[in-house]
Structure 1
Amino acid sequence: MIPQKTYSVDEATKKLESYCAYQERCHKEVTDKLKQMRMIPEAIDQIVVHLINHNFLNELRFAKAFVRGKFRIKKWGKNRLTRELKFRDISAYAIKEALKEINEDDYVETLHELTLKRINQVKEKNVYKKKKKVADYLLYRGWESHLVYEKLSELVK
């Protein structure tokens, strides 16, 4: 077994500063990283407080960046975004604020484009089966069910 490198609090702090500077991180990712580095709980708390005080770690900033990125690139709906943020132990307040980053018009337009794209991909002759396949796809991506079914009744005849 290869002995794992041990870190002093200062070394770990420097390493985590660059880890957080590289991209936005949530508290959970940082504490998991520190546990991986085999730091003791007191050191973990001390380093996390340092990162927060020096603005390397900011839950609200992370949540907003996460929502913007996943919505723009992966086209996730609000349900999926909320679920993923909760999984990362983000506070309800931060989640609510982050979801405000999505422009309502862009949200509706993205759902429309995604629905049309998926309708064209599904090669099902039976209208009900086609609707179900498209709906399942959109629901998996976290779009609200009432919006999905409204859009499907509008587009699939």
Structure 2
Amino acid sequence: MNEPKKKRITDEKTGLAKAEHFCAYQERSQQEVRDKLYDLGLYPDAVERIISKLIEGNYLNEERFARAYVQGKFNQKTWGRIKIKQGLKLKRVPEKLINKVLMGIDGDDYLLKLEQLLAKRAAQTTEKDTFKRRYKLIQYATSRGFEADLINDVLNNSEL
């Protein structure tokens, strides 16, 4: 039942090395790195100095992180703009940057992903009542972060 105590780091150089390693294998937001450094036991002034050094060394780039996040969630997880935006807000990415990177999603690709998502879900749905079936498809696409007007447009223009 006794959990092993985490070793606290108070040395800024050790914290910087750990943060560099943390940022090297995956894009990170500033808030993720800040949280990690606080978990390691560093003091706030040391954390901010380390984050500044990471930005200078190009280990940490908020725009690069946001672009990678958007591409990953859109291409791999098939998330819509709403859900991606919420995820970026949770990572404390600035609103201006969120809007900028969301503009990078191609509109045609976005509609195609939505159509594919709805077609796949429609094939899995056993509901016979057309109203209930349509409702289930709308609910599913909404839960994936797609906009209601686009979902309705796709459903109206297809035989799903």
On whether the aligned pair clears a TM of 0.5, the verdict is yes
Q: Give 1:150 shift.
A: 1.3
Runs (5+) with no aligned partner, structure 1? none
Q: Give 1:105 shift.
A: 1.2
Q: Give 1:46 shift.
A: 0.9
The corresponding residue for 2:13 is 10
Task: Give the whole-Å Cα distance in 2 for the aligned partners of 1:48 and 1:128.
Answer: 53
The corresponding residue for 1:129 is 132
The corresponding residue for 2:71 is 68
Encode CA deviations 1:27-67: one digit per residue, 9 max, x unaligned.
Answer: 11101101110111111111111111111111111000000
Task: Give the whole-Å Cα distance in 1 for the aligned partners of 2:92 and 2:41.
Answer: 21
Encode CA deviations 1:80-103: one digit per residue, 9 max, x unaligned.
Answer: 111110111101121112112211
Q: Where does 1:20-99 land on structure 2 (aligned, <5 Å)?
A: 20-99=23-102
User: Would you say the 8 A contact 1:64–1:97 is kept in 2?
Assistant: no
1:155 aligns with 2:158: yes
Using the size of structure 1 for normalisation, the TM-score is: 0.95
Runs (5+) with no aligned partner, structure 2? none
Number of paired residues? 157
- Superposition RMSD on alpha carbons, in Å? 1.3
The corresponding residue for 2:144 is 141
User: Would you say the 8 A contact 1:63–1:85 is kept in 2?
Assistant: yes
Task: Give the whole-Å Cα distance in 1 for the aligned partners of 2:128 and 2:93.
Answer: 43
Secondary structure of the equivalent of 1:49?
helix
Q: Give 1:156 shift.
A: 4.3
Task: Give the whole-Å Cα distance in 2 for the aligned partners of 1:64 and 1:47.
Answer: 23
Secondary structure of the equivalent of 1:31?
helix
Q: Give 1:6 shift.
A: 2.7
User: Would you say the 8 A contact 1:127–1:156 is kept in 2?
Assistant: no
